[in-house]
Amino acid sequence: MILPTLELMQKGIVKVKNNRSSNMFVSLAGLGITLGIAFFVMFIMIFIMSDTPKDTIYYFFAGPLTNKYYFGNMLNAAIPLMLTGLGISFAFRASMFNLGGEGQVYIGGLAAASVCLSLPGLPGFIGIPLSLAAAVAAGALVAGLSGYFKFKWSTDELISSFLISNALIYIVDNIITGVLQDPESSLLTSRKLAEQFWFLKIFPPSNLDISIVFIVVLAFLAYFYLFKTHQGYEMRICGLNPEFARYGGINVKKYFLLPMVLSGGFHGMAGAVSVMGTQHMLFKGFSGGMGWNGIAVALIARNNPLAVIPSALFFAYLEAGAKSAMINADITIEIASVVQAVVFYLITAQAIYSFVQRRRRKA
Amino acid sequence: METYLAMRNITKIYDSSNVIANDDVNLEIRKGEIHALVGENGAGKSTLMKILYGMEQPDSGQIMINGKEVKISSPIAANAQGLGMVHQHFKLVKEFTVAQNVVLGKEPKRGGFLFDNHRATKEVAAVIEQNNFHISADTKISELSVGQMQQVEIIKMLYRKADILILDEPTSVLTEQEIQRLFETLRRLVSQGKTIIIITHKLAEVKGISDRITVMRNGKVVAVKETKDVDEHEISRLMVGKRIVFDFQREEGFCLDPVLTMRDVSVVRKRQKRPLLDRVNLAASTCEIVGITGVAGNGLTELEDVISGLMPVTSGTVFHNDDDITDMTAMQLRDRGFSYVPTDRLNRGSSIQTSIKENMIVTSHHDYLNKSGVFNREKISTHVKGLISEYLIDGSEHAPIGTLSGGNIQKVILARELERVKDFILFSEPTWGLDVASSDFIYEKILEVRERGVAVIIISSNIDEVLALADKVMVMYRGRVVLDREISEELTREFIGEYMLGLKDDFADTRVDAEGDSEGEK
């Protein structure tokens, strides 16, 4: 789990797309250089900390790609990250700091599981959309609450979303280990969902399910909404300069609420997809890090919904690599996380981008 | 006299907008002179000074000080070379004292890391003393007048031991008396061996204060002259290139129906004794320009905010035609067709990171949707391109507005607001900081919109502008209207000036309460 600093987050959202082609070049060249540096640092760290650096590096980089099972699972792990990344992108574009992703994912999972568990006789084609809707609504409601507080009393959404989310986690924990606890299991988990609610596996033996296709489409829709529709325009303008938006006759307060609702909806869906697609049950703490990692994914993607796709894949790749190196070589989970964190910090560092930009100006 | 500072063959191209801001520019400054850098907005003088002060890097060219080439990579490096800049928009922390502002970034420390407020105050007081300023080092900035804030900026540079002072449009925010005081200060500094570069486009001042002049036009230096050898017409001709004759013809009003009316509008802020606006009555009618003037801090800003719906009133009513619009938000007023060109162009009037296109459609984007709520890109693009060429804006539709010059930014705002104007428009400081050509362009547009029957309010601290344009002149003093008259020969600069300074009040006898304010005059 990586907690990005506020400063980094703000930097992430103030950057905007200026001149298209030159900006694209700067972004790509910047990303190339950063990745180069990041991996170089990673090599050095592995050489210092591992007794079998060659193996470690091999499993870190190639591990996730060596067989269908690892590869499919890596893609599968990217699914909820895409959703939370999209959710954060929306909020950050509107300058709304949704720090409650973790709780929103969790409650989304609870909502989906509750529908499936309480109506086990429902056919899949009704039950799946219904549970998804419940999850989206639950996430949207929770995040929307923070938006509403800001709308009504100018409460700082950064604090309120974080606090609400933290409180929720304990409540959901309590429900899982109480009402929903599977009496036949010794684990802290609910009963298994009925099989008709499970998502279709498309890449056996891995866990990858059909939802990835829909979510990629969703990312395109999100991009379209943000950049081609008038609501998306108003939302972005409110995020960039609320004074100007107000002056121009945009209902600024509406965009305290709307982006939070959308953001929460995406997070809720991430919870549902993870429960119905992968775990098929609701176990305590299943959301571990999805919400926080969504912030990382959105930052790498610079809050661009299309860039969220590769960004989530990259993040999942790093996770899978770390896991594979841990299992097959001699590094511990802590070291794997440190390596991951270094890569992440380097990628979000703006300095390299502005360096490329300056160089380009001179050229 | 020897050359002290020289900029040689400076070229600077902004690649985002593809504008050549400086094209092979040469500038020579002699020791101990006051050098005026003049030119219109967008002529490249600000860019040149930003390069000199290390805020921008040139694409080519060199800077020499005392015959040695220097590299200036940042304002800090510029300070180290003895350069100091006073920006047009002051960079001061309102809640800090004069001394705290002056030492910011170069604070005297106690024990290595604690801020030594006592020493800061003492050191700054010494600088103030040496240079004959009349400010106390421990006053808070928020208690100072605009002219005094500017002095603080100058003190800040003197504290940093600047030898060359660059002043960017220093007089644009000052009153007549403050300008005179500034000039005295500048002459005194020069007599103490400082060198001064002043960026301006006010010709009378150029003539009054400078020793030599460099004139820029379209990114190039077009002339370098001794001030005594040229007259104002000559400078103006050099700046503009061609002579623009503009005659403010006023036609007799014939259709005076009130459009916007304010009745006894007051704005009182909590814990503040004196109201920001005190029972203001105002009426703007069709085919009429109402010009409202006053010294900064006397209610012009508040009036702007109230009329535009961005500040709620404490009491009183506002009418649009016959509808009560008192508590309407900016959004509701926009729906009624209100147009508004604000004073603060960069924060309120535009979103600087956003493209010209996205700036232009902020009030009208609802009109460019197809049935499913998606933007019709071609329609927007045609519309924006049309406005760009109609208003002679120098930039493409995708250029972020922050890369444009001040005049061009104002034109973008003007294009957007005039495009949608219905029966009322508010201008606040429409030509503040703009050059002659841009100002004339804007005046032309204002008169044009009045011809169409629109009610116009111009809030401006520039008396000449108000007298030249307005059919009705109003003066604000301490939140009150102290003069409200039809334009006539009687209304001269001096006459208005007495009202602006509170020496006269047409409505004195209508105010029942006695002057209860404890605050004294500055």
pLDDT tens, position by position, A283-322? 888 887 888 889 888 988 888 999 999 989 988 888 888 8
> Roughly what angle, to the nearest 10 degrees, separates helices A68-93 and A254-273?
170
Looking at residue B463, what is its pLDDT? 83
Select the residue from A11, A14, A19 to test the B interface by mutation, using most B Cβ atoms within 10 A: A19
- Residue type at B481? V
Select the residue from B344, B362, B372 to test the A interface by mutation, using most A Cβ atoms within 10 A: B362
> Which chain B residues touch A228 with a CB distance below 8 Å?
374-375, 377
Share of chain B above pLDDT 70, in %: 93
> Which chain A residues touch B331 with a CB distance below 8 Å?
246, 249-251
CB B79 within 8 A of CB B160: yes
Q: How many angstroms separate the CA of residue A361 from the nearest CA in chain B?
A: 7
Q: Report residue B262 CA to chain centroid gap.
A: 27
CB A209 within 8 A of CB A199: yes
Query: Do the Cβ atoms of A246 and B59 come within 8 Å?
Result: no
A110 domain-assigned: yes
CB A45 within 8 A of CB A339: yes
CB B98 within 8 A of CB B122: no
User: Average pLDDT of B56-69?
Assistant: 90
A128 domain-assigned: yes
Q: How many angstroms separate the CA of residue B59 from the nearest CA in chain A?
A: 6
A339 domain-assigned: yes
Looking at residue B146, what is its pLDDT? 80
Is any Cβ of chain B less than 8 angstroms from the Cβ of A157?
A: no
Backbone phi and psi for residue B353, each to the nearest 5 degrees, phi listed first? -85, -5
Query: Do the Cβ atoms of A247 and B353 come within 8 Å?
Result: no
Looking at residue A222, what is its pLDDT? 95
Query: Do the Cβ atoms of B59 and A16 come within 8 Å?
Result: no
Looking at residue A183, what is its pLDDT? 83
B351 → chain A, closest CA residue: A241
Domain count, chain A: 1
More confident residue, B363 or B263: B263
Positions of chain A with pLDDT lower than 70, given as ranges: 1-24, 26, 348, 350-363
Nearest by CB to A243, which of B348, B368, B399? Answer: B348
Strands B258-267 and B315-320: antiparallel
Looking at residue B7, what is its pLDDT? 93
Distance, in Å, from the CA atom of B157 to the CA atom of B505, rounded to the nearest integer, reads: 40
More confident residue, A332 or B268: B268
Buried b / exposed e over B136-170, threshold 16 CB at 10 Å, is: ebeeebeebeebbbbbbbbbbbbbbebbbbbbbbb
CB A134 within 8 A of CB A115: yes
> Which chain B residues touch A249 with a CB distance below 8 Å?
330-331, 333-335, 362-363
Query: Do the Cβ atoms of B398 and A20 come within 8 Å?
Result: yes
Distance, in Å, from the CA atom of A59 to the CA atom of B455, rounded to the nearest integer, reads: 74
The CATH number of whichever domain residue A157 belongs to comes to 1.10.3470
Is any Cβ of chain B less than 8 angstroms from the Cβ of A220?
A: no
A286 domain-assigned: yes
Is any Cβ of chain B less than 8 angstroms from the Cβ of A354?
A: no
Nearest by CB to B363, which of A18, A20, A248? Answer: A248
Which residues make Cβ contacts (< 8 Å) with residue B368, sequence separation at least 6?
A: A230, B361, B375, B376, B379, B380, B383
Q: Which of A11-15, A260-264, B352-356, B426-430 has the lowest mean pLDDT?
A: A11-15
Looking at residue B407, what is its pLDDT? 83
Nearest by CB to B354, which of A228, A240, A249? Answer: A240
Distance, in Å, from the CA atom of B87 to the CA atom of B166, rounded to the nearest integer, reads: 8
Kindly tell me if the per-residue pLDDT of B243 is higher than 50: no
Domains defined for chain B, CATH in brackets: 3-240 (3.40.50.300), 247-338+422-522 (3.40.50.300), 355-415 (no CATH)
> Which chain B residues touch A230 with a CB distance below 8 Å?
365-366, 368-369, 373, 375
User: Average pLDDT of B74-84?
Assistant: 90
User: Average pLDDT of B337-350?
Assistant: 89
What six digits make up the tokens of B370?
A: 């197809």
- What does each C-alpha distance from B438 to A287, B229, B391, B416, B430 come to in angstroms? 59, 27, 10, 16, 10
Looking at residue A22, what is its pLDDT? 59
Place of tokens 């591990």: A63
CB B150 within 8 A of CB B102: no
State the count of interchain CB pairs (< 8 A) between A and B.
89
A1 domain-assigned: no
Is any Cβ of chain B less than 8 angstroms from the Cβ of A21?
A: no
Kindly tell me if the per-residue pLDDT of B323 is higher than 70: yes
Share of chain B above pLDDT 90, in %: 25
3-state secondary structure chain A: CCCCCHHHHHHHHHCCCCCHHHHHHHHHHHHHHHHHHHHHHHHHHHHHHCCCHHHHHHHHHHHHHCCHHHHHHHHHHHHHHHHHHHHHHHHHHCCCCCCCHHHHHHHHHHHHHHHHHHCCCCCHHHHHHHHHHHHHHHHHHHHHHHHHHHHHHCCCHHHHHHHHHHHHHHHHHHHHHCCCECCCCCCCEECCCCHHHCCCECCCCCCCECHHHHHHHHHHHHHHHHHHEHHHHHHHHHHHCHHHHHHCCCCCCHHHHHHHHHHHHHHHHHHHHHHHHHHCCCECCCCCCHHHHHHHHHHHCCCCHHHHHHHHHHHHHHHHHHHHHHHHCCCCHHHHHHHHHHHHHHHHCCHHHHHHHHHHHHC
Looking at residue A205, what is its pLDDT? 87
> Which chain B residues touch A22 with a CB distance below 8 Å?
15-16
Q: Give the model's confidence band at B15: pLDDT under 50 very low, under 70 low, under 90 confident, else very high.
A: low
Looking at residue B502, what is its pLDDT? 78
A157 domain-assigned: yes
Q: List, for residues B452-501, the tens digit of each pLDDT value.
A: 888 999 999 888 888 888 989 999 988 899 999 988 888 887 788 888 87
Kindly tell me if the per-residue pLDDT of B251 is higher than 60: no
Q: How many angstroms separate the CA of residue B14 from the nearest CA in chain A?
A: 8
Looking at residue A16, what is its pLDDT? 35
Which residue range forms the structural domain that includes residue A115? 6-362
> Helix-strand-coil percent breakdown of chain B, rounded to 5?
35, 25, 40
- Bridge partner residues of B473 (DSSP): B291, B485
Distance, in Å, from the CA atom of B314 to the CA atom of B269, rounded to the nearest integer, reads: 8
Select the residue from B328, B365, B412, B416 to test the A interface by mutation, using most A Cβ atoms within 10 A: B365
Select the residue from A18, A25, A220 to test the B interface by mutation, using most B Cβ atoms within 10 A: A18
Kindly tell me if the per-residue pLDDT of B248 is higher than 80: no
Looking at residue A350, what is its pLDDT? 61
A49 domain-assigned: yes
